[in-house]
Amino acid sequence: MRLYHHPMSSNARRAVMTAIHLGLPLELAEVDLMHPDDRRRLAELNPNGKVPVLADGDFLLWESCAIMQYLAEQAPGQTLYPPAGKARADVNRWLFWGAQHFAPAISVLTWERAWKGITGNGGADPLEEARGERRSSGRTRMDQWQQRDAG
């Protein structure tokens, strides 16, 4: 299996870490997100033009959570991803919550505080940073919810 990734992508890193944890060999193909030719080739693999993309033979899979689930299913006897039922539903809940609520906030902050400068698009915009901070407030609510359940 080949994983198209970029080391700065948290989504790609989660797929790499899953494979490492499961002991699955992956051929890592780094995509230079700053190079137009690499971006064009990436768009041929993933219509969203984002990493990671997993190639397993002629099967292409994008979206990090889907890749993590697929990798777990390639490792018989693994205990990382529950086989079914309530335990799997609970893991899926947190995977989907992260993708739907946490990742969008982090992406705004990462763009404003890191990538914007790296790509020569100026400094951080305080209004956008504030928007990212507001979006990340769901994390605080979830922390409180988990503490309530643990107590």
pLDDT, one tens digit per residue, over 34-83 is 899 999 999 999 999 999 999 999 999 999 999 999 999 999 999 999 99
Number of domains in the chain: 2
- What per-residue confidence (pLDDT) applies to 98? 86
Q: Is 10 exposed, middle or buried (CB count within 10 Å of its CB: 0-12, 13-18, 19+)?
A: exposed
Q: Do both 89 and 127 map to the same domain? A: yes
Alpha-carbon gap, residue 47 to 49, rounded angstroms? 5
Residue range(s) defining the domain that contains residue 59: 2-73
> Residue 111: which of 123, 101, 100, 102 has the closest Cα?
123
Q: Do both 89 and 145 map to the same domain? A: yes
Residue bearing the bigger pLDDT, 97 or 4: 4
Alpha-carbon gap, residue 106 to 146, rounded angstroms? 20
Three-class SS state of 58:
coil
Strand partners, 110: none
How many Cα atoms occupy the beta-carbon half-sphere of 115 within 13 Å? 10
Q: Do both 61 and 103 map to the same domain? A: no
Q: Do both 9 and 68 map to the same domain? A: yes
Among the candidates 73, 97, 132, a domain finishes at 73
pLDDT, one tens digit per residue, over 90-120 is 999 999 988 887 778 888 888 888 878 888 8
Q: What is the pTM of this model?
A: 0.79
Alpha-carbon gap, residue 61 to 63, rounded angstroms? 7
Among the candidates 25, 44, 73, a domain finishes at 73
Residue bearing the bigger pLDDT, 131 or 2: 2
